[in-house]
Each structure stands twice: as structure tokens, then as C-alpha cells.
Amino acid sequence: MMETKPATEFLVQFWGVRGSIPSPGPETVGYGGNTSCVDMRIGGKHLIFDGGTGLRVLGKALIKQSPIEAYVFFTHYHWDHIQGIPFFFPTFSPQDIFHIHGQVPPEGEVMTMEKHFKERVLHINSPVPVAEIAANLQFHDIVCGEAFQLDDITIETAPLNHPNGAMGYRISWQGYTAVYCTDTEHFPDRLDDNVLHLARDADIFIYDAMYTDVEYHNPKSPKVGWGHSTWEEGVRVAEAAGVKQLVIFHHEPNHSDAFLDQVEKDVLAVSPTAVMAKEGLILDVTRAGKLA
């Protein structure tokens, strides 16, 4: 059986916090250069959100617990959210079970999540053939906008404003809630109703804050229409939704540690309980928003 944590535990650990492309190097080592991957440990279960390059590092930690059972959820299938997949599953044994959840993109031919995953996610550019994957993969199609149960864990979904689409997740367990909301772009004249619905009264709200407002509206190089948001918008949503702790996530690959340190100062000046996502950071959802 999988090595479990106490049944009262709801932890969120960050394994990849960058957007768009991995950005290793001395200027990004503080926050980390791996792309999106978040592991939620809830009542002994592993719920893994997205499969960016951070997934490879998570795999190295999980394999020590084999045999294991874990649940994988995808927001969408842009490169920075699937780059780690070919370097994750092959290292596990047939005794390890991974439940793969996601929404098949609406364009093109109708296919199941299993067919989409094997033919489009583990595509011909992958260095590891599908046949070489030893782990037991089980597939589950999600209809975006619907809610479902994973034993005593409630998972709600909603569409996000992103090129080719994306899906946000709200995970609730024993009265506590964490929201994973990336990749999404805010609207110019109103708060996003879907994001507000996901974030309502959440303990932890992980938000796509790739840019600052200044960068987003830069007249020489605006980021409007690129599918991402700002930390200022994250603060606005968090305040409107009654969030206890905002997490600034999906850092721009060109943002250095020094730049993000300044962002942290700016964020904390208006949202004292907020936190910057860093590789290795672990948040206790049951204690969200409590200042040290």
C-alpha cells in the first residue's frame, strides 16, 4: 500500500512554479526554474496537478514510496504543463497506479482521455515510447464545469480564459479548500465569474500571476491576449472572494530572483498573508493565512 500521511493532513507542495518554458540558472535558482507541477497530499492521498518539468523531480521523491497510488489532473496541454510526463511514469512499476484526469480539447476528432493522452500528450516527440511505461495508468474524462468526488474529497472545475482553453480546480476536504487556478487571463472591465466561483472563501488560492500590471499594459510590449494574469489582479480576486491566502504562481521565465523578491514586497504591502510560490515550498491548508 501507499505510504500515507495522517488523515488530518492537507498539504500543498510546489515542484514547478514557472510558466511557458523552464528557466534554470543562477538568477532563478531561488524560486526555481521548473514548470508547473503541484502536489496536494490530502488525507493520505496524492493529488498531482499538471505535469511540467517539476513532475520529474516529484517522481524521484515518489518512487521511494513504491508501490503507490496517485491522482493526476491536467489544466490543459500546453508544453509547460506536460514536459515532465515522459520522464515520470516509465520509472514506476506495474504495481503503481496513476489515475489520469483531464478534459479532451474540443477541437478536432472526438476521442477519449486515454486516446488523447497516449497519442497527443505522449506524442511522437517523446523519447520514451508508450509501450515502455510500466506504471498502471487509468484514465478519467472530466467535463469542465462539473464537480465530482474522490472518496471524501470534492473537486469542482470551471473553464479559464486561456488560448485553446484551460480548466481550474477547487479541492475541498473536511471543511478546507485549495484552489489551483492557472493558466488564465483576467477581463479588462470585470472580475472573472468562473475564477470567483472557484476561489470563494478558499483557504489557499493558487493564481496565475505571471506579470505585473505595468508589464501587462506596457505600450511597447503589452501582454494583453497572451492568456495570463497579474499579481494585482490576483489580489483583487482574493479580496472579492474572501480568500485566506493568495499564492503567486506561474512566474514569468525572464523574472529573476531579484525581480520576484521585489514582487513579494509589493504583494505583501497590500496582502500580508500572501506567499510567493517557490520550488519545495509546503503550505498547510489547515493553517492558511496565519501569520508566523
Q: Which carries the bigger pLDDT value, residue 231 or residue 1?
A: 231
Please give the pLDDT value at position 7: 72
Q: Is the pLDDT of residue 4 over 70?
A: no
Which spans in the chain are helix H? 54-62, 113-116, 193-199, 213-216, 231-241, 257-270
Helix (H, G, I), strand (E, B) or coil at 292: coil
For range 242-271, the mean pLDDT: 98
Torsion angles phi and psi, residue 57, rounded to 5: -70, -40
Residue 283 pLDDT class (50, 70, 90 cuts): very high
Q: What is the dihedral sign for C-alpha 210, 211, 216, 218?
A: negative
Residue 3 pLDDT class (50, 70, 90 cuts): very low
Please give the pLDDT value at position 132: 83
Q: Is the pLDDT of residue 1 over 50?
A: no
- Please, what is the average pLDDT of the chain? 92
Please give the pLDDT value at position 2: 39
pLDDT above 70 as % of the chain = 96
Torsion angles phi and psi, residue 164, rounded to 5: 70, 5
Q: Which carries the bigger pLDDT value, residue 1 or residue 33?
A: 33
Q: What are the tens digits of pLDDT across the range 87-133? A: 998 889 999 999 999 998 776 567 889 988 988 888 777 888 888 88
Q: What is the distance between the alpha carbons of residues 180 and 194, in angstroms, rounded to a whole number?
A: 13
Contact 232, 212 (CB under 8 A): yes
Q: What is the distance between the alpha carbons of residues 40 and 46, in angstroms, rounded to a whole number?
A: 6
Please give the pLDDT value at position 42: 97
Q: Is the pLDDT of residue 85 over 80?
A: yes
Please give the pLDDT value at position 107: 64
Q: What is the distance between the alpha carbons of residues 200 and 238, in angstroms, rounded to a whole number?
A: 8
Q: What is the distance between the alpha carbons of residues 183 and 257, in angstroms, rounded to a whole number?
A: 21
Contact 260, 18 (CB under 8 A): no
Q: Which carries the bigger pLDDT value, residue 156 or residue 115?
A: 156
DSSP string, 164-226: T-EEEEEEEETTEEEEEE-S----SSS--HHHHHHHTT-SEEEEE--B-HHHHT-SSS--TTS
- The CATH code of the domain at 10-286 is 3.60.15.10
Q: Is the pLDDT of residue 255 over 80?
A: yes
- Give CA angle at 58 (159, 172), nearest 5°: 40
Please give the pLDDT value at position 213: 93
Residue 54 pLDDT class (50, 70, 90 cuts): very high
Q: Is the pLDDT of residue 150 over 90?
A: yes
Q: What are the tens digits of pLDDT across the range 182-237? A: 999 999 999 999 999 999 999 999 999 999 999 989 989 888 888 899 999 999 99
- Smallest Cα–Cα separation from 207: which of 191, 240, 230, 225? 230
Q: Is the pLDDT of residue 170 over 60?
A: yes
For range 128-157, the mean pLDDT: 92
From the centroid of its chain, how far is CA 25?
A: 22
